[in-house]
Amino acid sequence: MKKGKNIMLQGTASSVGKSLLTAAFCRIFQQDGYKVVPFKSQNMALNSFITEEGLEMGRAQVFQAEAAKVKPSASMNPILLKPTGDAFAQVIIKGKVYNNMTAVEYHDFKPQLKNMIQEIYQELSSNNDIVVIEGAGSPAEINLRDKDIVNMGMAEIADSPVLLIGDIDRGGVFASLYGTIMLLREEERKRVKGILINKFRGDKSILAPGLKMLEDLTGIPVLGVIPYGNFNIEDEDSVTQRFQKNINQEGKVTVEVIRLPHISNFTDFHVFEILPDVNIRYITERDSIDYPDIVIIPGSKNTISDLKYLRESGLEKEIIKAYKNGSYIIGICGGYQMLGRKVLDPQGVESSMPQIRGLGLLDVETIFEGEKVTTQVQAEVIFENKGILNRCKNSTIKGYEIHMGRTKLGKDAEPLLKITEKLGKETEYTDGAVDREGRVFGTYIHGIFDEISFTEKIIGNILKKKGLAPSTQQQISLEQYKDNEYQKLANLVRENIDLQKIYEILEG
């Protein structure tokens, strides 16, 4: 196969499985010996990642790159939109913050981005055998078509064939597929070379008459009916189902994560879902915190707004009550800022409020500045062995920082970590804070729990305090666990699609 082949996955709506199926195709093509990369011209998500170069990109293209067994690159997601409220979004272009825009402003700005997208795509295409392109939402959003750069507009830029995905689990799959196709322009319909029906439960033979009628009506073949699969792969969007349930309900250690309105990087807690001793659940204003072993305040795209939410919803009182009842409290990035005495925003970086009182569980103070920190780091724990951090001193941590605020420690807080490497270069400065008893800590480092040995020590400390023995189940690394999930996903998709036909489509 010559370099520069492509195929694009579009869907009848959001959350029909485009991101996962893109990852599946990346792994399938990689297994078959091709150099493959994912690409999504424009992504909207609060879950982001920092590359080795210090550039910001969406998490979906990160796990797709992992499935393809290549390093994540911001070129795989040149435009990232991070909503900061109902009206505005932070626009990130080529991994760097460009500006804050309203939806109308950004819609008018999009045509200026086409040449940049085309240049980045062509470079990716020329250096790889196959590019698997992911669309966003639906290509039948006809009110947005004139300035589209992510669905059929992207298919035109890349001159790519399209596979259209419908989600049968949500119902109405035939109507949504037919309606989507009929709303496309004639030249756009010609790009759609196949249909995939996703998340099917039951006997496929029952579908046969409907599949035949759909093919007759559209003239487009159905190339696969993919069964519903249960894969523990990182989600990109806040519509994730993991927010709706307890995970590992038999776990001996309970971790409760506050589901903030602007929660970001909830992938930080993926590791807790694979630890057999941990029961993790997400808490909203409709829930009461049930005196868990650990309460985590996660990252936030709008710290001040989410701090007000904690106060107004009553969750602040619940967190303080849990602390007084013996729970350990952890804050990550925005959550770390909320744990302090106050948050100051004199330049109006996040809010019109110049300052707001924090939860007061850490003797720290945060001030927002205009420049965003985006970096990968390596660190070691320097806090003395106390409380939840017993036996953790000198543990190695790897992760990344994405934040606007700078946090200063008071006399009753001690630094958590010493940063030893930044963007691959040696450095030395401290991060995070811990109270003197080791019961509350915060850090700017996303991915801190991905280091299994560090996280197992924290969970082990709680088990020991409760007089419980740790599970005897052998624990693999998070990296290996995720790779196994990508393999399971690829196997399921490969077994339920006409892969030969898809390769024919790739060859044109």
Which residues are known to be catalytic? 333, 446
> 257 near 282, Cβ under 8 Å?
yes
Separation CA 412–CA 16 (nearest Å): 49
Partners of 443 in the β-ladder: 332
The string of DSSP letters for 382-439 reads -S-S-GGGTT-TT-EEEEEEEEEEEEEE-TTEE--EEEEEETTEEEEEEE-EEETTSS
The string of DSSP letters for 98-155 reads EEEEEHHHHHHHGGGGHHHHHHHHHHHHHTSSEEEEE--S-TT-TTSGGG-SSSHHHH
Burial class (CB in 10 A: 0-12, 13-18, 19+), 339: buried
* One-letter-per-residue 3-state SS of 10-49: EECCCCCCHHHHHHHHHHHHHHCCCCEEEECCEEECCCEE
Separation CA 388–CA 327 (nearest Å): 10
Beta-carbon contacts of 496 under 8 Å, excluding residues fewer than 6 positions away, are: 224, 225, 226, 227
Q: Coil, strand or helix: which one is 160?
A: coil
User: Which tokens go with 98?
Assistant: 């460009």
User: Which tokens go with 285?
Assistant: 């204003």
CA distances from 227 to 101, 198, 207, 240 (A): 40, 7, 12, 19
